[in-house]
C-alpha cells in the first residue's frame, strides 16, 4: 500500500489508468476528494459497493435541479403577476380603494419573493466569514455549528486543541476561532498559547465559549489572549451579533 500525505488542491495521478485524485477540501477529520476517471472506469465508495438501488447525484446535478426549480418558481411568479395586473386594471375604475391596495400589496410580495429566489443561490455561495469551532462535545458542537451555518458562516469543527492546531497548520487562517476551554489533549489555554505564538494567525479573532469562569483560566483577555468570552449555555444570537460586530460585517436584514 502506498501511503501519502497531501494538502488541499494536491493531486495523485495514475497515468496509465487515466485517473486523477484531487484533495478538494480538508475539514477537521473529514477530507473531500475529487476523482476524475474515464467513463468506463466505475468509481464507488467501498461502504456502498453492495447498494444497487441508491442514485447519488453529483454536485452539478444538484445545481442543475436547483436552477430548474428557480426557473419554475419564476414562471409561476410571472403568471401570478400577470393575473394580478389584470385584476388591478379591472379595479381601477372601481371606487374600492381597499381592494386596489390589497392587490398592490400582494404584487409587491411577489416581487420580493422573485428577488429573494434570484439571490438564494448566490448568497449560499458567499459565507460571511470562516469559523473554526473547537468543541469536544459532539452535540454542543453540532448545534452551535448548525446555527452558525444558518447565519451564513462557513464552519469547520475540530474536536480538541490538537485537532485545531493540525488543521491550522494545513489551511489558511479562519476569521474567527471559537473554543471550549476544557478539552482533552490540548485544552483551551494550551491552544490559545499556540495560536498567539504563530505570526500568521495574528489577525484571527479568538473567542472562548465555555462554562468555566474566565478568572479560573490562566488566559489573558485582549489581543494577547482571548478577544471575548461567552459563558455556556451560550446566547447564540448574541454570539453571532458579536462576531459580525467585531469583524465589521454588515448582515442582511433577515440575519439581524
Name residues whose C-beta falls within 8 Å of residue 11's C-beta, 6 or more positions apart in sequence. Answer: 20, 21, 22, 23
* Helices and strands per DSSP (H, E), number in the chain: 6, 8
pLDDT exceeds cutoff 70 at 26: yes
Which has the closest alpha carbon to 163: 180, 139, 146, 150?
A: 180
pLDDT exceeds cutoff 50 at 57: no
**Cα 111 to the center of its chain, rounded Å:** 28
Are 247 and 129 spatial neighbours (Cβ–Cβ below 8 Å)?
yes
Strand order in the sheet with 30-36: 11-14, 19-27, 30-36
pLDDT exceeds cutoff 60 at 154: yes
User: Domain coordinates of the chain in residue numbers?
Assistant: 1-38, 59-124, 129-247
Name residues whose C-beta falls within 8 Å of residue 164's C-beta, 6 or more positions apart in sequence. Answer: 132, 134, 158, 177, 179, 186, 191
Neighbouring CB atoms inside 10 A of 189's CB total 16
More confident residue, 230 or 109: 230
- Mean pLDDT within 221-244: 87
Q: Count CA atoms closer than 13 A to 14's CA, side-chain side.
A: 12
Q: Give the pLDDT score at 174.
A: 93
Q: Give the pLDDT score at 117.
A: 62
* Range of 96-100, 104-108, 194-198 with top mean pLDDT: 194-198
Q: Give the pLDDT score at 62.
A: 57
More confident residue, 200 or 61: 200
Name residues whose C-beta falls within 8 Å of residue 120's C-beta, 6 or more positions apart in sequence. Answer: 70
- Mean pLDDT within 53-70: 57
**Whole-number mean pLDDT of the chain?**
77
pTM: 0.53
- Report which secondary-structure segment, H or E, holds 229: strand 228-231
Q: Give the pLDDT score at 254.
A: 45
Topology of domain 129-247, per CATH?
Answer: Rossmann fold (3.40.50)
More confident residue, 62 or 136: 136
d(CA 220, CA 192): 10
Q: Give the pLDDT score at 15.
A: 82
Q: Give the pLDDT score at 132.
A: 94
Amino acid at each position: 500500500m502506498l501511503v501519502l500525505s497531501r494538502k488541499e488542491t494536491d493531486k495523485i495521478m495514475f497515468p496509465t489508468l487515466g485517473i486523477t485524485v484531487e484533495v478538494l477540501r480538508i475539514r477537521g477529520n473529514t477530507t473531500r476528494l475529487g476523482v476524475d476517471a474515464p467513463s468506463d472506469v466505475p468509481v464507488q465508495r467501498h461502504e456502498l459497493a453492495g447498494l444497487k438501488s441508491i442514485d447519488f447525484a453529483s454536485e452539478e446535478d444538484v445545481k442543475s435541479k436547483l436552477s430548474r426549480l428557480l426557473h419554475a418558481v419564476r414562471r409561476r411568479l410571472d403568471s401570478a403577476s400577470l393575473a394580478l395586473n389584470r385584476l388591478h386594471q379591472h379595479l381601477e375604475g372601481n371606487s374600492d380603494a381597499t381592494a386596489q391596495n390589497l392587490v398592490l400589496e400582494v404584487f409587491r410580495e411577489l416581487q420580493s419573493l422573485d428577488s429573494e429566489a434570484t439571490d438564494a443561490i448566490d448568497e449560499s455561495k458567499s459565507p460571511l466569514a470562516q469559523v473554526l469551532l473547537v468543541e469536544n462535545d459532539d452535540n454542543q458542537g453540532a448545534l452551535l455549528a448548525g446555527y452558525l451555518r444558518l447565519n451564513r458562516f462557513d464552519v469547520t469543527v475540530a474536536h480538541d486543541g490538537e485537532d485545531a492546531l493540525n488543521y491550522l497548520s494545513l489551511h489558511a487562517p479562519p476569521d474567527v476561532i471559537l473554543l471550549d476551554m476544557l478539552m482533552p489533549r490540548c485544552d483551551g489555554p494550551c491552544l490559545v498559547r499556540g495560536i498567539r505564538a504563530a505570526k500568521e494567525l495574528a489577525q484571527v479573532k479568538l473567542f472562548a465559549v465555555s462554562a468555566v469562569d474566565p478568572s479560573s483560566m490562566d488566559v489573558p483577555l485582549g489581543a494577547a489572549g482571548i478577544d471575548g468570552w461567552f459563558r455556556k449555555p451560550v446566547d447564540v444570537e448574541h454570539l453571532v451579533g458579536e462576531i459580525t460586530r467585531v469583524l465589521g460585517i454588515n448582515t442582511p436584514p433577515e440575519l439581524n
